[in-house]
Chain A
Amino acid sequence: VIDTNVNLFRWPFRRLIGDDPAELVTRLRKKGVTQAWAGSFEGLLCRDVAGVNARLAAACREHGPNFLVPFGCINPKSPDWEEDLRRCHENHHMVGIRLYPNYHGYTLGEPAFAKLLSMAANRNLIVQIALSMEDVRTQFPLMLVPPVDPAPLSELIPQFPHLRLVLLNAGHWAGNRNPSVRKISQADNVYLDIAMNEGVVGLTRLIAETSPARVVFGSHYPFFYFESALLKVRSADLPRDQELAVYERNARSLLHQPS
Protein backbone atom coordinates (compact mmCIF):
# COMPACT_ATOMS: atom_id res chain seq x y z
CA VAL A 1 0.00 0.00 0.00
CA ILE A 2 1.19 3.50 -0.83
CA ASP A 3 -0.55 5.96 1.44
CA THR A 4 -0.57 9.36 -0.28
CA ASN A 5 -2.06 11.24 2.64
CA VAL A 6 -0.38 11.06 6.04
CA ASN A 7 0.64 13.85 8.39
CA LEU A 8 3.60 14.23 10.71
CA PHE A 9 3.76 15.91 14.11
CA ARG A 10 0.94 17.28 16.25
CA TRP A 11 -2.57 18.24 15.23
CA PRO A 12 -3.08 21.64 16.88
CA PHE A 13 -6.26 20.71 18.75
CA ARG A 14 -5.83 17.12 19.92
CA ARG A 15 -3.13 14.60 20.73
CA LEU A 16 -3.28 11.69 18.30
CA ILE A 17 -1.94 8.17 18.55
CA GLY A 18 0.83 8.26 15.95
CA ASP A 19 1.71 11.95 16.21
CA ASP A 20 5.32 11.04 16.95
CA PRO A 21 7.11 10.34 13.63
CA ALA A 22 8.90 7.20 14.82
CA GLU A 23 5.68 5.76 16.19
CA LEU A 24 3.79 6.70 13.03
CA VAL A 25 6.28 4.83 10.88
CA THR A 26 6.14 1.74 13.07
CA ARG A 27 2.36 1.71 13.05
CA LEU A 28 2.02 2.28 9.31
CA ARG A 29 4.52 -0.47 8.54
CA LYS A 30 2.54 -2.86 10.73
CA LYS A 31 -0.59 -1.99 8.82
CA GLY A 32 1.05 -3.02 5.55
CA VAL A 33 2.00 0.40 4.20
CA THR A 34 5.18 0.35 2.11
CA GLN A 35 5.43 4.08 1.41
CA ALA A 36 3.74 7.13 2.93
CA TRP A 37 3.57 10.63 1.45
CA ALA A 38 3.86 12.91 4.44
CA GLY A 39 2.86 16.49 4.99
CA SER A 40 3.31 18.36 8.25
CA PHE A 41 0.49 19.47 10.52
CA GLU A 42 2.81 22.35 11.46
CA GLY A 43 2.27 23.75 7.98
CA LEU A 44 -1.31 24.69 8.81
CA LEU A 45 -0.54 27.45 11.29
CA CYS A 46 3.21 28.10 11.47
CA ARG A 47 4.34 31.15 9.52
CA ASP A 48 7.96 30.03 9.30
CA VAL A 49 7.25 27.66 6.44
CA ALA A 50 10.93 27.14 5.72
CA GLY A 51 11.39 25.81 9.26
CA VAL A 52 8.34 23.58 8.92
CA ASN A 53 9.71 22.04 5.73
CA ALA A 54 13.20 21.58 7.14
CA ARG A 55 11.80 19.70 10.16
CA LEU A 56 9.59 17.61 7.90
CA ALA A 57 12.48 16.65 5.65
CA ALA A 58 14.71 15.84 8.62
CA ALA A 59 12.04 13.69 10.31
CA CYS A 60 11.43 11.74 7.09
CA ARG A 61 15.17 11.12 6.69
CA GLU A 62 15.63 10.10 10.31
CA HIS A 63 12.55 7.98 10.89
CA GLY A 64 11.50 6.74 7.50
CA PRO A 65 14.23 6.68 4.87
CA ASN A 66 12.79 5.02 1.75
CA PHE A 67 9.41 5.00 3.49
CA LEU A 68 8.31 8.54 4.31
CA VAL A 69 8.19 10.82 1.27
CA PRO A 70 8.08 14.45 2.42
CA PHE A 71 5.65 16.88 0.77
CA GLY A 72 6.64 20.38 1.82
CA CYS A 73 4.17 23.14 2.44
CA ILE A 74 4.09 26.35 0.40
CA ASN A 75 2.02 29.41 1.26
CA PRO A 76 1.79 31.65 -1.81
CA LYS A 77 0.51 34.51 0.37
CA SER A 78 3.73 34.47 2.36
CA PRO A 79 6.66 36.80 1.49
CA ASP A 80 9.29 35.18 -0.71
CA TRP A 81 7.44 31.88 -0.95
CA GLU A 82 9.32 31.20 -4.17
CA GLU A 83 12.42 30.55 -2.07
CA ASP A 84 10.49 27.99 -0.01
CA LEU A 85 9.58 26.22 -3.22
CA ARG A 86 13.17 26.26 -4.40
CA ARG A 87 14.38 24.80 -1.09
CA CYS A 88 11.76 22.06 -1.19
CA HIS A 89 12.99 21.03 -4.59
CA GLU A 90 16.70 21.72 -4.54
CA ASN A 91 17.70 21.43 -0.88
CA HIS A 92 15.26 18.83 0.44
CA HIS A 93 14.90 16.97 -2.88
CA MET A 94 11.16 16.72 -2.45
CA VAL A 95 9.05 15.21 -5.22
CA GLY A 96 6.00 17.26 -4.35
CA ILE A 97 4.35 19.91 -2.23
CA ARG A 98 1.12 19.97 -0.21
CA LEU A 99 -1.05 23.08 -0.09
CA TYR A 100 -3.60 24.19 2.51
CA PRO A 101 -5.39 27.10 0.79
CA ASN A 102 -8.16 27.39 3.37
CA TYR A 103 -5.73 27.57 6.30
CA HIS A 104 -3.52 30.03 4.45
CA GLY A 105 -6.35 32.29 3.37
CA TYR A 106 -6.42 32.21 -0.42
CA THR A 107 -8.75 30.87 -3.07
CA LEU A 108 -7.77 28.82 -6.09
CA GLY A 109 -8.85 31.72 -8.28
CA GLU A 110 -6.06 34.04 -7.10
CA PRO A 111 -3.09 34.89 -9.36
CA ALA A 112 -0.57 33.82 -6.71
CA PHE A 113 -1.98 30.30 -6.80
CA ALA A 114 -1.74 30.15 -10.60
CA LYS A 115 1.87 31.31 -10.36
CA LEU A 116 2.61 28.61 -7.81
CA LEU A 117 1.11 25.94 -10.05
CA SER A 118 3.19 27.22 -12.94
CA MET A 119 6.43 27.15 -10.95
CA ALA A 120 5.68 23.72 -9.52
CA ALA A 121 4.95 22.40 -12.98
CA ASN A 122 8.24 23.82 -14.26
CA ARG A 123 10.04 21.93 -11.51
CA ASN A 124 8.02 18.80 -12.22
CA LEU A 125 6.73 18.69 -8.66
CA ILE A 126 3.56 16.83 -7.72
CA VAL A 127 1.05 19.27 -6.20
CA GLN A 128 -1.29 17.99 -3.51
CA ILE A 129 -4.12 20.28 -2.44
CA ALA A 130 -5.81 19.44 0.85
CA LEU A 131 -9.36 20.61 0.19
CA SER A 132 -10.22 20.13 3.82
CA MET A 133 -8.54 18.88 6.98
CA GLU A 134 -11.56 18.55 9.29
CA ASP A 135 -15.34 18.66 9.05
CA VAL A 136 -16.28 22.28 9.70
CA ARG A 137 -19.00 21.11 12.10
CA THR A 138 -16.43 19.73 14.51
CA GLN A 139 -13.77 22.42 14.32
CA PHE A 140 -12.53 24.49 17.21
CA PRO A 141 -15.00 27.37 17.65
CA LEU A 142 -12.39 30.12 17.45
CA MET A 143 -11.02 28.77 14.20
CA LEU A 144 -13.60 27.78 11.62
CA VAL A 145 -11.99 26.82 8.31
CA PRO A 146 -14.47 25.99 5.54
CA PRO A 147 -13.37 23.59 2.79
CA VAL A 148 -11.62 24.83 -0.34
CA ASP A 149 -13.79 25.52 -3.37
CA PRO A 150 -12.12 23.56 -6.19
CA ALA A 151 -14.17 25.17 -8.97
CA PRO A 152 -11.45 27.60 -10.24
CA LEU A 153 -9.28 24.58 -11.04
CA SER A 154 -11.48 23.83 -14.03
CA GLU A 155 -10.03 26.87 -15.80
CA LEU A 156 -6.46 26.40 -14.56
CA ILE A 157 -5.89 22.73 -15.25
CA PRO A 158 -5.90 23.02 -19.05
CA GLN A 159 -3.08 25.57 -18.75
CA PHE A 160 -0.84 22.98 -17.08
CA PRO A 161 -1.35 19.72 -18.94
CA HIS A 162 1.81 18.15 -17.51
CA LEU A 163 1.18 19.14 -13.91
CA ARG A 164 0.44 16.19 -11.61
CA LEU A 165 -2.30 17.34 -9.26
CA VAL A 166 -3.70 15.35 -6.33
CA LEU A 167 -6.80 16.50 -4.46
CA LEU A 168 -6.77 15.25 -0.88
CA ASN A 169 -9.75 14.99 1.45
CA ALA A 170 -12.10 15.79 -1.38
CA GLY A 171 -15.13 14.68 0.58
CA HIS A 172 -18.40 14.16 -1.19
CA TRP A 173 -16.89 14.47 -4.64
CA ALA A 174 -18.79 11.56 -6.16
CA GLY A 175 -22.25 12.54 -7.31
CA ASN A 176 -21.34 16.22 -7.40
CA ARG A 177 -23.38 17.88 -10.14
CA ASN A 178 -21.40 21.12 -10.24
CA PRO A 179 -20.16 21.41 -13.88
CA SER A 180 -16.76 22.75 -12.78
CA VAL A 181 -16.23 19.85 -10.44
CA ARG A 182 -17.23 17.38 -13.12
CA LYS A 183 -14.79 18.99 -15.54
CA ILE A 184 -11.98 18.73 -12.99
CA SER A 185 -12.73 15.09 -12.32
CA GLN A 186 -12.42 14.31 -16.04
CA ALA A 187 -8.93 15.81 -16.37
CA ASP A 188 -6.29 13.15 -17.00
CA ASN A 189 -3.73 14.76 -14.72
CA VAL A 190 -5.97 15.11 -11.65
CA TYR A 191 -5.95 12.40 -8.98
CA LEU A 192 -8.17 12.07 -5.91
CA ASP A 193 -7.56 10.27 -2.65
CA ILE A 194 -10.22 8.38 -0.69
CA ALA A 195 -9.76 9.61 2.88
CA MET A 196 -12.98 11.62 2.98
CA ASN A 197 -14.87 9.71 0.31
CA GLU A 198 -18.08 8.56 1.96
CA GLY A 199 -21.21 6.48 1.45
CA VAL A 200 -21.80 2.76 1.10
CA VAL A 201 -21.17 2.99 -2.65
CA GLY A 202 -18.91 6.06 -2.43
CA LEU A 203 -15.69 4.56 -3.75
CA THR A 204 -17.40 2.76 -6.62
CA ARG A 205 -19.05 6.03 -7.63
CA LEU A 206 -15.81 7.96 -7.35
CA ILE A 207 -14.01 5.56 -9.65
CA ALA A 208 -16.90 5.55 -12.11
CA GLU A 209 -16.98 9.35 -12.23
CA THR A 210 -13.21 9.83 -12.51
CA SER A 211 -11.07 6.93 -13.68
CA PRO A 212 -9.80 3.67 -12.16
CA ALA A 213 -6.32 5.02 -12.92
CA ARG A 214 -6.71 8.29 -10.97
CA VAL A 215 -8.00 7.28 -7.55
CA VAL A 216 -5.26 6.81 -4.97
CA PHE A 217 -5.15 5.41 -1.46
CA GLY A 218 -5.02 8.12 1.20
CA SER A 219 -5.86 7.67 4.85
CA HIS A 220 -5.40 11.14 6.42
CA TYR A 221 -3.64 9.24 9.21
CA PRO A 222 -3.18 9.84 12.09
CA PHE A 223 -6.07 12.33 12.14
CA PHE A 224 -8.34 9.54 10.89
CA TYR A 225 -8.23 5.90 11.87
CA PHE A 226 -6.13 4.28 9.14
CA GLU A 227 -8.57 1.36 8.91
CA SER A 228 -11.24 3.64 7.43
CA ALA A 229 -9.46 3.93 4.09
CA LEU A 230 -8.46 0.29 4.18
CA LEU A 231 -11.99 -0.99 4.76
CA LYS A 232 -13.38 1.33 2.08
CA VAL A 233 -11.29 -0.45 -0.52
CA ARG A 234 -12.01 -3.89 0.90
CA SER A 235 -15.76 -3.39 1.04
CA ALA A 236 -16.08 -1.82 -2.41
CA ASP A 237 -15.57 -5.25 -3.98
CA LEU A 238 -13.58 -3.77 -6.85
CA PRO A 239 -12.10 -5.99 -9.54
CA ARG A 240 -8.70 -7.13 -8.22
CA ASP A 241 -6.87 -5.08 -10.80
CA GLN A 242 -8.67 -1.87 -9.74
CA GLU A 243 -8.10 -2.68 -6.10
CA LEU A 244 -4.36 -3.00 -6.64
CA ALA A 245 -4.38 0.21 -8.66
CA VAL A 246 -5.98 2.12 -5.78
CA TYR A 247 -3.72 0.55 -3.16
CA GLU A 248 -0.47 1.13 -4.92
CA ARG A 249 -0.16 1.25 -8.70
CA ASN A 250 -1.79 4.63 -9.36
CA ALA A 251 0.38 6.36 -6.78
CA ARG A 252 3.51 4.68 -8.10
CA SER A 253 2.72 5.70 -11.64
CA LEU A 254 2.01 9.24 -10.46
CA LEU A 255 5.36 9.34 -8.70
CA HIS A 256 7.34 8.14 -11.67
CA GLN A 257 5.44 9.90 -14.42
CA PRO A 258 7.80 11.85 -16.68
CA SER A 259 7.07 15.51 -17.24
Chain B
Amino acid sequence: MTFDRRTVVKGIVAGFFAAGVHAGAESSAEALERTGPMRIWDAHSHLGSLPGDTPEERMAVLVRHMDRLGVERLILSQGFDEYISHPTPQQVREENDRVMRVLQHFPDRAYGSVYLSPDNVEFCLQEFDRCVKDGPMIGVGELETDVRCNSSALDPIVERAISMNVPILQHTWMKTSGNEPGESTPYDLVELARRHPEGKFICGHTGGNWELGIRAIRDTKNVYAEIAGSDPTSGFTEMAVRELGADRVIYGSDVGGRSFASQIAKVIGAEIPDSAKKLILGGNLRRLFQPVLAAKGLAS
Protein backbone atom coordinates (compact mmCIF):
# COMPACT_ATOMS: atom_id res chain seq x y z
CA MET B 1 0.00 0.00 0.00
CA THR B 2 1.34 3.41 -0.90
CA PHE B 3 0.41 6.82 0.35
CA ASP B 4 0.61 9.96 -1.74
CA ARG B 5 1.73 12.83 0.46
CA ARG B 6 -0.33 15.25 -1.61
CA THR B 7 -3.46 13.53 -0.35
CA VAL B 8 -2.51 14.62 3.14
CA VAL B 9 -3.01 18.25 2.27
CA LYS B 10 -6.06 17.43 0.18
CA GLY B 11 -7.53 15.45 3.04
CA ILE B 12 -7.42 18.36 5.43
CA VAL B 13 -8.60 20.87 2.86
CA ALA B 14 -11.45 18.61 1.78
CA GLY B 15 -12.27 18.10 5.43
CA PHE B 16 -13.01 21.77 5.82
CA PHE B 17 -14.37 22.74 2.44
CA ALA B 18 -16.63 19.90 1.42
CA ALA B 19 -18.63 20.36 4.59
CA GLY B 20 -19.65 23.78 3.38
CA VAL B 21 -17.75 25.37 6.20
CA HIS B 22 -15.91 28.36 4.96
CA ALA B 23 -13.95 31.33 6.05
CA GLY B 24 -12.03 30.51 9.24
CA ALA B 25 -11.19 27.02 8.20
CA GLU B 26 -10.46 28.16 4.69
CA SER B 27 -7.80 30.61 5.74
CA SER B 28 -6.20 27.96 7.90
CA ALA B 29 -6.17 25.40 5.12
CA GLU B 30 -4.80 27.88 2.63
CA ALA B 31 -2.07 28.82 5.04
CA LEU B 32 -1.15 25.18 5.44
CA GLU B 33 -0.76 24.84 1.72
CA ARG B 34 1.43 27.92 1.62
CA THR B 35 3.74 26.57 4.26
CA GLY B 36 4.11 23.22 2.55
CA PRO B 37 2.61 19.80 3.08
CA MET B 38 1.01 19.20 6.45
CA ARG B 39 2.21 15.70 7.18
CA ILE B 40 0.31 14.29 10.12
CA TRP B 41 1.98 11.61 12.20
CA ASP B 42 0.09 10.30 15.20
CA ALA B 43 2.23 9.47 18.25
CA HIS B 44 -0.37 7.44 20.13
CA SER B 45 -2.71 4.82 18.72
CA HIS B 46 -4.18 1.45 19.64
CA LEU B 47 -6.31 -1.20 18.00
CA GLY B 48 -8.97 -1.25 20.71
CA SER B 49 -12.62 -0.08 20.48
CA LEU B 50 -12.71 -0.76 16.75
CA PRO B 51 -14.80 -3.11 14.62
CA GLY B 52 -12.94 -6.17 13.31
CA ASP B 53 -11.77 -9.48 14.67
CA THR B 54 -8.15 -9.28 13.60
CA PRO B 55 -5.42 -6.63 13.87
CA GLU B 56 -5.45 -6.27 10.10
CA GLU B 57 -9.21 -5.67 9.96
CA ARG B 58 -9.04 -3.06 12.69
CA MET B 59 -6.08 -1.32 11.08
CA ALA B 60 -8.02 -1.17 7.81
CA VAL B 61 -10.75 0.75 9.68
CA LEU B 62 -8.15 3.14 11.03
CA VAL B 63 -6.63 3.64 7.59
CA ARG B 64 -10.01 4.62 6.13
CA HIS B 65 -10.38 7.29 8.81
CA MET B 66 -6.75 8.37 8.47
CA ASP B 67 -7.32 8.99 4.78
CA ARG B 68 -10.39 11.10 5.43
CA LEU B 69 -8.47 13.47 7.68
CA GLY B 70 -5.09 13.24 6.04
CA VAL B 71 -3.20 11.28 8.68
CA GLU B 72 -0.12 9.81 7.06
CA ARG B 73 1.21 7.48 9.72
CA LEU B 74 0.53 6.10 13.19
CA ILE B 75 2.84 4.98 15.95
CA LEU B 76 0.91 1.92 17.05
CA SER B 77 1.14 0.04 20.33
CA GLN B 78 -0.73 -2.43 22.54
CA GLY B 79 -4.41 -2.26 23.27
CA PHE B 80 -6.10 -4.80 20.99
CA ASP B 81 -7.48 -6.54 24.05
CA GLU B 82 -8.96 -4.77 27.03
CA TYR B 83 -6.21 -3.29 29.16
CA ILE B 84 -4.79 -5.47 31.94
CA SER B 85 -2.80 -3.66 34.60
CA HIS B 86 -0.38 -6.51 35.26
CA PRO B 87 -0.14 -8.59 32.06
CA THR B 88 1.74 -11.85 31.91
CA PRO B 89 4.74 -12.10 29.57
CA GLN B 90 2.56 -14.15 27.26
CA GLN B 91 -0.06 -11.40 27.11
CA VAL B 92 2.61 -8.77 26.45
CA ARG B 93 4.05 -10.88 23.65
CA GLU B 94 0.62 -11.35 22.08
CA GLU B 95 -0.02 -7.62 22.05
CA ASN B 96 3.33 -6.93 20.41
CA ASP B 97 2.81 -9.72 17.89
CA ARG B 98 -0.50 -8.15 16.85
CA VAL B 99 1.19 -4.81 16.26
CA MET B 100 3.92 -6.49 14.21
CA ARG B 101 1.26 -8.19 12.06
CA VAL B 102 -0.11 -4.74 11.26
CA LEU B 103 3.36 -3.41 10.42
CA GLN B 104 3.79 -6.24 7.95
CA HIS B 105 0.50 -5.48 6.18
CA PHE B 106 0.56 -1.69 6.39
CA PRO B 107 4.26 -0.74 6.24
CA ASP B 108 3.51 2.73 4.84
CA ARG B 109 0.88 3.64 7.42
CA ALA B 110 2.20 2.54 10.81
CA TYR B 111 5.34 2.16 12.83
CA GLY B 112 5.33 0.07 15.96
CA SER B 113 6.16 0.82 19.56
CA VAL B 114 6.90 -2.03 21.93
CA TYR B 115 4.67 -2.72 24.92
CA LEU B 116 6.57 -3.59 28.08
CA SER B 117 5.46 -4.24 31.62
CA PRO B 118 8.10 -3.10 34.11
CA ASP B 119 6.75 -5.73 36.50
CA ASN B 120 9.27 -8.09 34.92
CA VAL B 121 12.40 -6.24 33.87
CA GLU B 122 14.37 -9.21 32.55
CA PHE B 123 11.49 -10.18 30.29
CA CYS B 124 11.13 -6.53 29.22
CA LEU B 125 14.70 -6.38 28.00
CA GLN B 126 14.26 -9.58 26.02
CA GLU B 127 11.03 -8.26 24.52
CA PHE B 128 12.72 -4.96 23.63
CA ASP B 129 15.41 -6.88 21.77
CA ARG B 130 12.88 -9.11 20.01
CA CYS B 131 10.68 -6.23 18.85
CA VAL B 132 13.02 -3.24 18.50
CA LYS B 133 16.67 -4.29 18.32
CA ASP B 134 16.01 -7.35 16.18
CA GLY B 135 12.48 -6.49 15.03
CA PRO B 136 10.65 -3.73 13.15
CA MET B 137 9.59 -1.51 16.05
CA ILE B 138 10.98 1.96 16.65
CA GLY B 139 9.72 3.07 20.05
CA VAL B 140 8.86 2.07 23.61
CA GLY B 141 5.34 2.48 25.00
CA GLU B 142 2.68 3.29 25.65
CA LEU B 143 3.82 2.15 29.07
CA GLU B 144 0.76 2.21 31.31
CA THR B 145 -0.21 1.59 34.89
CA ASP B 146 1.76 -1.48 35.93
CA VAL B 147 4.35 0.48 37.88
CA ARG B 148 4.69 4.21 38.43
CA CYS B 149 7.40 5.34 36.09
CA ASN B 150 9.58 6.97 38.72
CA SER B 151 10.43 3.43 39.83
CA SER B 152 14.03 2.31 39.44
CA ALA B 153 12.61 -0.78 37.69
CA LEU B 154 12.38 1.36 34.59
CA ASP B 155 16.06 2.33 34.55
CA PRO B 156 17.35 -0.72 32.63
CA ILE B 157 14.54 -0.29 30.08
CA VAL B 158 15.36 3.38 29.60
CA GLU B 159 19.07 2.60 29.26
CA ARG B 160 18.29 0.02 26.58
CA ALA B 161 16.10 2.57 24.75
CA ILE B 162 18.81 5.22 24.95
CA SER B 163 21.34 2.76 23.51
CA MET B 164 19.25 2.72 20.32
CA ASN B 165 18.08 6.35 20.48
CA VAL B 166 14.50 5.18 20.88
CA PRO B 167 11.85 7.54 22.37
CA ILE B 168 9.61 6.36 25.20
CA LEU B 169 5.87 7.09 25.38
CA GLN B 170 4.70 7.01 28.99
CA HIS B 171 1.01 7.19 29.98
CA THR B 172 0.43 9.94 32.55
CA TRP B 173 -2.66 11.31 34.23
CA MET B 174 -3.34 13.54 37.21
CA LYS B 175 -6.97 12.69 37.70
CA THR B 176 -8.83 15.01 40.02
CA SER B 177 -10.93 11.99 40.87
CA GLY B 178 -7.76 10.00 41.74
CA ASN B 179 -5.28 7.94 39.72
CA GLU B 180 -5.34 4.16 39.49
CA PRO B 181 -2.76 2.24 41.55
CA GLY B 182 0.49 2.29 39.63
CA GLU B 183 -0.69 5.03 37.28
CA SER B 184 2.01 7.59 36.57
CA THR B 185 1.83 11.36 36.77
CA PRO B 186 3.94 13.89 34.86
CA TYR B 187 5.88 14.39 38.10
CA ASP B 188 6.87 10.71 38.02
CA LEU B 189 8.02 11.05 34.43
CA VAL B 190 10.04 14.13 35.26
CA GLU B 191 11.88 12.13 37.95
CA LEU B 192 12.68 9.41 35.43
CA ALA B 193 13.71 11.88 32.73
CA ARG B 194 16.04 13.72 35.09
CA ARG B 195 17.79 10.47 35.93
CA HIS B 196 18.25 9.90 32.19
CA PRO B 197 19.04 13.23 30.53
CA GLU B 198 19.94 11.49 27.27
CA GLY B 199 16.53 9.86 27.02
CA LYS B 200 13.62 11.22 25.00
CA PHE B 201 10.32 10.97 26.84
CA ILE B 202 6.84 11.63 25.49
CA CYS B 203 4.45 12.58 28.29
CA GLY B 204 1.29 10.76 27.18
CA HIS B 205 -1.85 12.88 27.74
CA THR B 206 0.33 15.53 29.48
CA GLY B 207 -1.34 14.38 32.64
CA GLY B 208 -4.87 14.92 31.29
CA ASN B 209 -5.19 17.91 33.59
CA TRP B 210 -3.02 19.76 31.12
CA GLU B 211 -2.79 23.08 32.96
CA LEU B 212 -0.92 21.16 35.67
CA GLY B 213 0.89 18.70 33.43
CA ILE B 214 2.42 21.38 31.22
CA ARG B 215 3.78 23.17 34.26
CA ALA B 216 5.09 19.92 35.78
CA ILE B 217 7.26 19.13 32.75
CA ARG B 218 8.14 22.71 31.80
CA ASP B 219 11.70 22.72 33.11
CA THR B 220 12.60 19.20 32.00
CA LYS B 221 13.64 19.68 28.42
CA ASN B 222 13.83 16.02 27.43
CA VAL B 223 10.12 15.56 28.17
CA TYR B 224 7.64 16.33 25.39
CA ALA B 225 3.98 17.20 25.91
CA GLU B 226 1.62 14.89 24.06
CA ILE B 227 -1.97 16.03 23.60
CA ALA B 228 -3.75 12.70 23.05
CA GLY B 229 -6.65 11.11 24.80
CA SER B 230 -8.48 13.87 26.61
CA ASP B 231 -11.48 16.00 25.72
CA PRO B 232 -10.72 18.71 23.12
CA THR B 233 -10.76 21.49 25.69
CA SER B 234 -9.92 24.84 24.22
CA GLY B 235 -6.60 26.34 25.26
CA PHE B 236 -4.61 23.12 25.73
CA THR B 237 -2.39 23.53 22.69
CA GLU B 238 -2.04 27.29 23.05
CA MET B 239 -0.78 26.92 26.63
CA ALA B 240 1.59 24.10 25.69
CA VAL B 241 3.11 26.17 22.90
CA ARG B 242 3.35 29.25 25.11
CA GLU B 243 5.03 27.47 28.01
CA LEU B 244 7.12 24.80 26.27
CA GLY B 245 7.63 26.07 22.73
CA ALA B 246 6.07 24.45 19.68
CA ASP B 247 9.01 22.08 19.29
CA ARG B 248 8.09 20.29 22.53
CA VAL B 249 4.44 19.61 21.72
CA ILE B 250 3.36 16.43 19.93
CA TYR B 251 0.04 15.40 18.40
CA GLY B 252 -1.38 12.00 19.25
CA SER B 253 -4.95 10.73 19.24
CA ASP B 254 -5.31 7.63 21.43
CA VAL B 255 -7.55 6.02 18.79
CA GLY B 256 -9.61 3.83 18.65
CA GLY B 257 -11.22 4.88 21.98
CA ARG B 258 -10.76 8.50 20.96
CA SER B 259 -11.28 9.89 17.48
CA PHE B 260 -8.74 11.45 15.16
CA ALA B 261 -11.28 14.26 14.79
CA SER B 262 -11.43 15.45 18.39
CA GLN B 263 -7.67 15.24 18.81
CA ILE B 264 -6.59 16.84 15.52
CA ALA B 265 -9.04 19.63 16.38
CA LYS B 266 -6.80 20.54 19.31
CA VAL B 267 -4.16 21.59 16.80
CA ILE B 268 -6.18 22.75 13.79
CA GLY B 269 -8.46 24.80 16.04
CA ALA B 270 -5.69 26.33 18.14
CA GLU B 271 -4.71 29.98 17.87
CA ILE B 272 -1.08 29.28 17.05
CA PRO B 273 0.99 29.90 13.91
CA ASP B 274 0.73 27.41 11.07
CA SER B 275 4.43 26.74 11.45
CA ALA B 276 3.72 25.52 14.99
CA LYS B 277 0.87 23.33 13.76
CA LYS B 278 3.25 21.67 11.32
CA LEU B 279 5.68 20.85 14.08
CA ILE B 280 3.01 19.53 16.42
CA LEU B 281 1.17 17.44 13.84
CA GLY B 282 4.25 15.59 12.69
CA GLY B 283 7.48 17.55 12.46
CA ASN B 284 8.48 17.03 16.06
CA LEU B 285 7.68 13.33 16.01
CA ARG B 286 9.71 12.75 12.87
CA ARG B 287 12.62 14.66 14.40
CA LEU B 288 12.48 12.56 17.59
CA PHE B 289 12.34 9.29 15.69
CA GLN B 290 14.76 10.26 12.92
CA PRO B 291 17.85 8.59 14.46
CA VAL B 292 16.21 5.20 14.92
CA LEU B 293 14.45 5.42 11.57
CA ALA B 294 17.75 6.21 9.88
CA ALA B 295 19.49 3.37 11.69
CA LYS B 296 16.83 0.96 10.50
CA GLY B 297 16.70 2.39 7.00
CA LEU B 298 13.05 3.40 7.41
CA ALA B 299 11.36 6.40 5.84
CA SER B 300 10.76 9.61 7.76
Q: Does B296 contact A (CB under 8 A)?
A: no
A137 touches B269 (CB 8 A): no
Nearest CB in chain B: distance from A215 CB, A: 15
Q: In the complex, which of the residues A29, A200, A226, A233 contacts B269, with contact meaning CB atoms closer than 8 Å?
A: A226
Q: In the complex, which of the residues A30, A141, A221, A231 contacts B69, with contact meaning CB atoms closer than 8 Å?
A: A231
Write the chain A residue with the least CB distance to B212. Answer: A138
Highest count of chain B CB atoms <10 Å: which of A140, A200, A234: A200
A16 proximity list for chain B (CB < 8 A): 234-235
A231 touches B264 (CB 8 A): yes
A198 touches B258 (CB 8 A): yes
| Total residues of chain A contacting the partner, CB 8 A | 43
Highest count of chain B CB atoms <10 Å: which of A27, A134, A224: A224
Kindly identify, within residues 13 to 71 of chain B, every residue whose CB is under 8 Å from any CB belonging to chain A: 14-16, 18-25, 49-51, 61-62, 64-65, 68-69
B177 touches A144 (CB 8 A): yes
B24 touches A31 (CB 8 A): yes
Q: In the complex, which of the residues B14, B62, B209, B211 contacts A137, with contact meaning CB atoms closer than 8 Å?
A: B209
Q: Does A159 contact B (CB under 8 A)?
A: no
A231 touches B260 (CB 8 A): yes
A234 touches B15 (CB 8 A): yes
Known: A231-B265, A234-B261. A224 touches B64 (CB 8 A): no
A200 touches B49 (CB 8 A): yes
Chain A interfacial positions (CB closer than 8 Å to B): 1, 14-18, 27, 29-32, 134-141, 144, 196, 198-202, 221-228, 230-235, 237, 243, 247
The contact sample of 14 A-B pairs, CB cut-off 8 A, is A27-B24, A29-B23, A140-B176, A198-B259, A200-B259, A200-B260, A225-B234, A225-B265, A225-B266, A227-B25, A231-B259, A234-B14, A234-B18, A235-B65
